[in-house]
Structure 1
Amino acid sequence: MRLTIGVVTALAVLLGGAACSDDTDPAASGDGKVELNVYWWGGDKRAEVTEQALKLYTQRNPNVTFKTHWQGNQGYYDNLATQAAGPDAPDLFQIDDNYLTEYAERNVTLDLNPYVDSGALDLSKLPDSLAKYGQVGGRTMGVAGAENTPAMVYNKTLVQKLGVAEPKVGMSYAELVTWARDITNRTDGEVAGTMDPSADYKALWLWLRAQGKELYNGPELGFTADDLTAWYDIWQNARATGSAPPLSVIKEANGGDVTKQAVATGKAATSFMWSNQLPELQRATKDQLALVAYPGNPKGQWARASMYWSVFRGSRHAEVAVDVIDFLVNDTDAGKILGTERGLSPNTEVRKVLSQSLTDATTRATIEFENSITPKFGPAPAPPPKGHVKVRALLVAAAESVQQGKATPRQAAEDLIRQANAALATT
């Protein structure tokens, strides 16, 4: 879950090269032509739309061409570090908040503030919290390639059939558990009212923010064992009263596979997901699904980057790479090409244009949800510190130990605090 020794070594070599390069943008050749190396993770569809958008950039800027590389998520960061340490380092690459802080603190990523200040990189059409969520220590180290928001997906068809009120923005978790119990009772236990999200770091984070706390306080945890015990108690009660599904269903969904989420398999009336996953969930069921914010004050939420575009600090073509980011984020034609494959366009104006051109009702519903909830968002926290990936894994293990009855909420919480602090201190 941490960077391997080989990756750390590769990064060290990389930083040695970055330190002696300058961040200006000399032409690659005497004729002014530039080839940018671009690297990302994703599937065939992401590759197709990204390359189409880059071709459009070349059409408008014939002196700039692209050498593209992409792969699946598994092993991406190992390969990124290795490539960056070599002679063919990526000028522009995709990164997420699991590693943004780590790469920023290692000075791998270029500080984009000078370009924002000069107007070369326009972030004015991004929600403020989305723009700031790319900052590490006040430096803009990445620009959101797309926005994504946690959303509770619920079975609208089932809820209406049972005559139960649909969940509302701002309902508390206590209200959700009560609402869920009604669903369970009305279906004679066939469908649980709500998925148990106690292993979902997003749900925990938003629950903490509603109480004025954070998942992290700088490089340390921002919550206590008492906080985590209270969180586990909520869901232990939900399981005990039948509001949440059996352990086998919860365990299956904890793995994150969209096709195994309880709202898609019909085993629960809700699932705690990302809003852009609605179309994929919808394809798995004939019932109509809908979105609502996670329980709690929506000010606890913020516009989150599903992933960022960052520029390698050692790039010889930084100005061009920054201009490409500006194009991918702000150009309407590029936005239409990219669609919602990475999430919703980070540019709210591009998003509106895109929503008007969509024929798919489910994707349109996702955009409408984002547009309606964004004005209610609170300020963004700092991106997670180094070690976040390990902490996420520990949170899943701790929650599952309670779900399976192997530990009490208090025992699991205290173990998690100890293990997570050790992971953060040694990462």
Structure 2
Amino acid sequence: MPRTGSVDRRGVLRLAGGSLAAFGLTAAGCGAGGGSGDGSVTIRYAWWGSDDRAKRINETIALFEEKYPKIKVKTDFQPYLDFWKKFNTQASGGNPPDVFQNAIGFLRKYDEKNVLLDLGAQVEAGHLGMDGFRAGLEKFGEVDGKLLGVPVGSNSMALVIDENVFRKAGITPKPGWTWDDFDAAMVRIRDTQGRAGDSGMYGVMYLYDLYLRQHGKAFFTAKGLGFTEADLKEWWTKAYAGVRSGVYADPRKVAQIRPKSALAAELAGCEFTWDNFAVRYTSEGRSGYGLAPIPTTDGKRTGQYLGSLMLSGSKRTEHPKEVAQFIDFMVHDPEVAKIMGYDRGVPTTTAQYEAFEPTDEVNRDIAAYEDQLVASGVLEEITPHPSGADVAESAFLRLAEELALGKRSVDDAVRQFFSESKTALGR
């Protein structure tokens, strides 16, 4: 959009939101959540993410406060791990934010701790609309009949490839290709392109979940783990062999170049990750990058589902109506989509999906990838994770890396994972 010397009201609000964010403040000021003499209320909104996400979110909040002048929003954002440390402290003290960014791994955990607001009553009251969502995503935040989260952006696992490497190696991944096809491709890349095939899939919990789903299992059930020690031993034995043979990238080198990805650093030819993360490779690397389909066991079933970040409310909020109105605005208003883009995934509602038309090739590829998944009919439902799933996921990632670095044997890593997970999951 061309810029002129004049700035409209929305522009002023956006600039104000960005300036305040730079000083760690918000348009709502510094006070605690509550009400005031003029009938206005303040709600607290917290999320994790980068400075860029913070800037975008502050712009959307400025638009919300323009539409709802009686509702002020005080914001707080942190990096992922710091966010949950602070949130745990707030929740334990009975003072969580009124509304906050959430993920499926935390729904049951905080529901059992009596932290999450069931938004169903607000839907019935007409303050929150749950129509117009894509691909059944309106059900994503439901647990045991309660609406505990509303999705704001969808994503799915994908294989991000260095297109130049795959082309030179003569490899063209197509829907329905198998794990045997994938393994052969990784060997070919190693032998012909002077780098590892993959960055290291052994620690990607959500990829392993898809592999298990292809075999009629899942990483989590509603109550605990959905696989056995023998299953994990098979997965990690193959991973260990792949690292030693050079099919997967050297984990020591991968650790040295973090936070840059092994794919962008040219240590590997591909990497499994969420589709909306594909944007990072273009900014980090020198090659062209694309999205390839997930390998299958039978040539058909990928085990995939659409995941999503969500917005949840606090059960302790004094302003459930305003929280619902805020969430409704953030998932339905077209202007929000134009500001956020695919920062939190592809917009979950049709109105927002149609409002944002990506101009760059990477984001167009992300949208096309998800459209293809929906059209192909391969998508499945995700099981809401049990309480303690976040601890199990952290253990999986840590132990997989220790295994890859040679600090643990496969048997030791498997035993330790099940020991820690059973403690975290309470079963």
Q: TM-score, normalised by structure 2?
A: 0.83
**Any idea what the Cα deviations from partners look like across 1:296-315, whole Å, max 9, x if unmatched?**
2555111101x221111121
Given that 1:153 and 1:291 are in contact with CA atoms closer than 8 Å, whether structure 2 keeps it comes out as: yes
Work out whether 1:66 is the aligned partner of 2:70.
no
Work out whether 1:179 is the aligned partner of 2:166.
no
Structure 2 residue aligned with 1:147 = 154
Q: How far does residue 177 in structure 1 lie from its aligned partner after superposition?
A: 0.7
Structure 1 residue aligned with 2:327 = 325
Structure 1 residue aligned with 2:311 = 309
Structure 2 residue aligned with 1:196 = 200
RMSD between aligned residues: 2.6
Q: How far does residue 76 in structure 1 lie from its aligned partner after superposition?
A: 1.8
Change (3 A) 1:182 1:127: same
Given that 1:276 and 1:344 are in contact with CA atoms closer than 8 Å, whether structure 2 keeps it comes out as: yes
Change (3 A) 1:110 1:166: same
Q: How does 1:379-390 map to 2 (within 5 A)?
A: 379-390=380-391
Query: 2:241, 2:85 → 1: CA distance?
Result: 41
Structure 2 residue aligned with 1:369 = 369
Comparing 140-149 with 126-135, greater Cα deviation is found at 126-135
Structure 2 residue aligned with 1:214 = 218
Amino acid in structure 2 at the alignment position of 1:272? F
Work out whether 1:168 is the aligned partner of 2:174.
yes
Structure 2 residue aligned with 1:11 = none
Query: 2:183, 2:351 → 1: CA distance?
Result: 37
Given that 2:155 and 2:346 are in contact with CA atoms closer than 8 Å, whether structure 1 keeps it comes out as: yes
Q: How does 1:330-349 map to 2 (within 5 A)?
A: 330-349=332-351
Amino acid in structure 2 at the alignment position of 1:344? V
Say which of 120, 130, 146 aligns to 1:123.
130
Comparing 224-233 with 71-80, greater Cα deviation is found at 71-80
Given that 1:177 and 1:238 are in contact with CA atoms closer than 8 Å, whether structure 2 keeps it comes out as: no
Query: 1:69, 1:402 → 2: CA distance?
Result: 37
Given that 1:92 and 1:310 are in contact with CA atoms closer than 8 Å, whether structure 2 keeps it comes out as: yes
Amino acid in structure 2 at the alignment position of 1:93? F
**Any idea what the Cα deviations from partners look like across 1:283-339, whole Å, max 9, x if unmatched?**
12221000123322555111101x221111121211121111111101111111222
Query: 1:402, 1:74 → 2: CA distance?
Result: 23
Work out whether 1:100 is the aligned partner of 2:107.
yes
Say which of 25, 29, 35 aligns to 2:42.
35
Q: How far does residue 126 in structure 1 lie from its aligned partner after superposition?
A: 2.5
Amino acid in structure 2 at the alignment position of 1:293? P
Query: 1:233, 1:86 → 2: CA distance?
Result: 43
Work out whether 1:235 is the aligned partner of 2:235.
no
Q: Secondary structure at the match of 2:152?
A: strand
Q: Secondary structure at the match of 2:202?
A: coil
Query: 2:247, 2:406 → 1: CA distance?
Result: 17
Structure 1 residue aligned with 2:51 = 44
Query: 1:223, 1:262 → 2: CA distance?
Result: 29
**Any idea what the Cα deviations from partners look like across 1:11-34, whole Å, max 9, x if unmatched?**
xxxxxxxxxxxxxxxx94564322
Structure 2 residue aligned with 1:417 = 418
Q: How does 1:51-90 map to 2 (within 5 A)?
A: 51-83=58-90, 90=97
Q: How does 1:257-336 map to 2 (within 5 A)?
A: 257-259=258-260, 261-296=261-296, 297=300, 299-305=302-308, 307-336=309-338
Amino acid in structure 2 at the alignment position of 1:159? F
Given that 2:210 and 2:302 are in contact with CA atoms closer than 8 Å, whether structure 1 keeps it comes out as: no
Given that 1:129 and 1:302 are in contact with CA atoms closer than 8 Å, whether structure 2 keeps it comes out as: no
Change (3 A) 1:242 1:90: closer
Q: How far does residue 412 in structure 1 lie from its aligned partner after superposition?
A: 3.4
Amino acid in structure 2 at the alignment position of 1:323? Q
Query: 1:406, 1:78 → 2: CA distance?
Result: 28
Q: How far does residue 176 in structure 1 lie from its aligned partner after superposition?
A: 0.4
Work out whether 1:134 is the aligned partner of 2:138.
no
Query: 1:404, 1:77 → 2: CA distance?
Result: 28
Given that 1:225 and 1:410 are in contact with CA atoms closer than 8 Å, whether structure 2 keeps it comes out as: no
**Any idea what the Cα deviations from partners look like across 1:369-418, whole Å, max 9, x if unmatched?**
22222343433223322222321232234434543455554453344223
Count of residue correspondences: 390
Given that 1:129 and 1:380 are in contact with CA atoms closer than 8 Å, whether structure 2 keeps it comes out as: no
Query: 1:85, 1:269 → 2: CA distance?
Result: 44
Comparing 293-302 with 316-325, greater Cα deviation is found at 293-302
Q: How far does residue 117 in structure 1 lie from its aligned partner after superposition?
A: 4.5
Say which of 205, 212, 232 aligns to 2:209.
205
Work out whether 1:353 is the aligned partner of 2:355.
yes
Amino acid in structure 2 at the alignment position of 1:300? G
Change (3 A) 1:80 1:215: same
Structure 2 residue aligned with 1:8 = none
Query: 2:156, 2:253 → 1: CA distance?
Result: 24
Query: 1:220, 1:387 → 2: CA distance?
Result: 9
Q: Secondary structure at the match of 1:99?
A: helix
Given that 2:294 and 2:302 are in contact with CA atoms closer than 8 Å, whether structure 1 keeps it comes out as: no
Structure 2 residue aligned with 1:13 = none
**Any idea what the Cα deviations from partners look like across 1:33-64, whole Å, max 9, x if unmatched?**
22222222223222221121122122222222
Amino acid in structure 1 at the alignment position of 2:268? A
Q: How far does residue 191 in structure 1 lie from its aligned partner after superposition?
A: 1.3
Q: How far does residue 200 in structure 1 lie from its aligned partner after superposition?
A: 1.1
Change (3 A) 1:361 1:185: same
Q: Secondary structure at the match of 1:123?
A: coil
